[in-house]
Amino acid sequence: MNRTFDRYAGILFLAVAVFFVTESKSISTSSYGSTVGPNIFPLGLGILLGIMSIRLIYESFRYQYEENEYVKLEYKRFGILLAASVIYCLFLEDIGYAIATFLFLLIGFQTMKKGKILFSLLISATFSVGVFYIFNELLNIPLPSSSNWLGIL
């Protein structure tokens, strides 16, 4: 068990709980003359979540041992992949599905492991164009297109 993570997670969940309790005050307390309103459920959840978070924080102080299993994490690889994913998602609608996916996959493959660039190009192109074509043309589910700036896809 990771004492630090659990403690901060507990504090974070407690914050969410407090937020729920305070925010549910601004929800109406009654609907159509009923004695119970839509605020009751979130309020109750907030209170319960608060109690459990405090319990988690309390438990985290009582962990007997600090486990020191050291696993080398690939933060760089993960960071690049995550950043690429965020950019991919943010600009998917502007760039168009096929082009954005192609670029994302190419970067993704090369981030995971460098090399075999031709193979990477081939898979990226097949997947992005293939999915775009199948869903746009065959199944009539419109995906963002690049035709407004590229003319095709």
Which residues bind to other proteins, rule: CB under 8 A?
A: 1-2, 5-6, 9, 13, 16, 20, 23-24, 27-28, 31-32, 34-38, 40-42, 45-46, 48-49, 52-53, 55-56, 59, 71-75, 77-78, 81-82, 85-86, 88-90, 92-93, 97, 101, 104-105, 108-109, 111-113, 120, 123, 127-128, 131, 135, 139-141, 143
Residue 152: φ, ψ to 5°: -125, 175
SS3 of 28-79: the string is: CCCCCCCCCCCCHHHHHHHHHHHHHHHHHHHHHHCCCCCCCCCCCCCHHHHH
Question: Smaller CB distance to other proteins: residue 71 or 118?
Answer: 71
Minimum gap (Å) between residue 41 Cβ and other proteins:
4
The residue among 19 and 147 lying less far from other proteins, judged by its C-beta, is 19
* In the complex, least distance from residue 151 CB atom to other proteins, rounded to whole angstroms: 23
* Beta carbon of residue 146, minimum distance to other proteins (angstroms, whole number): 15
The nearer residue to other proteins, 4 or 148, going by C-beta atoms, is 4
Nearer to other proteins, 53 or 145 (CB): 53
The first and second tokens of residue 9, run together, are: 């997670």
Report in angstroms how near the CB of residue 101 gets to other proteins at its nearest.
Answer: 6
- The torsion defined by the Cα of 112, 115, 119 and 123, in degrees rounded to 10, comes to 20
**CB hemisphere CA count around 115 (13 angstroms):** 1
Chain position carrying tokens 């009923």: 34
Q: Give me 45's structure tokens.
A: 């959840």
Structure tokens at 69: 């299993």
Please name the amino acid found at residue 22.
T
Q: How far is the CB of 152 from other proteins (least distance, A)?
A: 19
